[in-house]
Amino acid sequence: MKKDDVIIITPTVPIGTSTKIIKLIENKTKLTVEKDFYFIYNPERISAGQAVSDIENNYPPVLSGSGKTSIMIASKMFGIISSKKPIIMSCTEAAEAEKLIEGLYRDVNIALANELSIFCEKLGIDFWEVRGAANSQPYSHLHKPGIGVGGYCIPVYPWLLTQTAIDKGIKVNFPLLGRYTNEKMPKYSIDRIMSKIGNKKKLTALILGLSFRGNVADNRISPTYDVVKELIKNRIKVKVHDPFFSYDPLLPKEVKLSNELDKVISGTDIIIISTDHDEYKEIDEEYIIKKSKKKPIIFDGRNILNKDNFKKLKILTIGK
């Protein structure tokens, strides 16, 4: 590192990380921030599969720095990169908190949707009908429930924020309550399936989707891994299909993975939709019966199938 260098940090980090990095650099190099070098913290605000459009057009960049000169450099740089007006934060700690809380908001609201969907299921109420009506009110923003939450963002941020709270002696409840709720959804989903199957033996399940999110080749912390574990615990043979994956060393060796649906659907007793890939929305009843050579029970963990189009097969849907 040399004089007049500009350091830009973009990953999501615990609150206070930028300050620690600056102090470390100053101690190691004997350079002084805002005099000899400049420091910018710009938390990335991107989604897998659309990073470039997110950076350039979709969201305003959040900028912070070690002082006025660093902020000026950041503003000029991102004024070229992004079409959106930057949001200038008062300090790096505020920008670090913004990114964590932005993701935490989604996690706790997904958890609320998951808990309410279970509540509605047990009352015999369609959560999706309730959600549609509730969200017609502008102050209601109920999220979608699902079989699980994945990726390196939403499942991780609550832990980073909670650790800071623990370190500072601050009590917070919602982050971990939401995390516990979302982490139990794969098991809850498989338990619900098993309650409908009864004592049948030597069953085979096909999981549709390894990616944690639809239409991207990204399996980081995918809930599918937990779904696989729960099925194996119940002594069910497991196969996985995903159009983006033909190999994954993280899956147990006994689990067959294919990117060709025709190769894994035969002999299937249970079909579980774990990822909302667009191609799964188009799967019809006749195809399933013909290719599986059975009449499998279907668990729609993303509510993407039109139940009206399924007359011969039993469909369980999250929240219904």
Q: Which residues are catalytic?
A: 99, 153
SS3 call for 155: coil
**Residue 78 structure tokens:** 């991102």
Tell whether the torsion through CA atoms of 190, 247, 269 and 214 is positive or negative.
Answer: positive
Q: Are strands 62-65 and 38-41 parallel, antiparallel or unpaired?
A: antiparallel
- Closest to 281 (Cα-Cα) out of 308, 257, 304, 260: 304
**Residue 278 structure tokens:** 């667009």
Backbone angles phi, psi at 250, to 5 degrees: -80, -20
Residue 143 forms beta bridges with which residues? none
Residues 71 and 64: beta-carbon distance below 8 Å: yes
Residue 96 per-residue DSSP state: H
Report DSSP letters for 232-259, one per residue. Answer: HHTT-EEEEE-TT-S--TTS-TTSEEES
Residues 85 and 78: beta-carbon distance below 8 Å: no
22 burial type by CB count under 10 A (0-12 exposed, 13-18 middle, 19+ buried): buried
Residues 105 and 149: beta-carbon distance below 8 Å: no
Q: What is the end-to-end Cα distance of the chain in Å, rounded?
A: 58
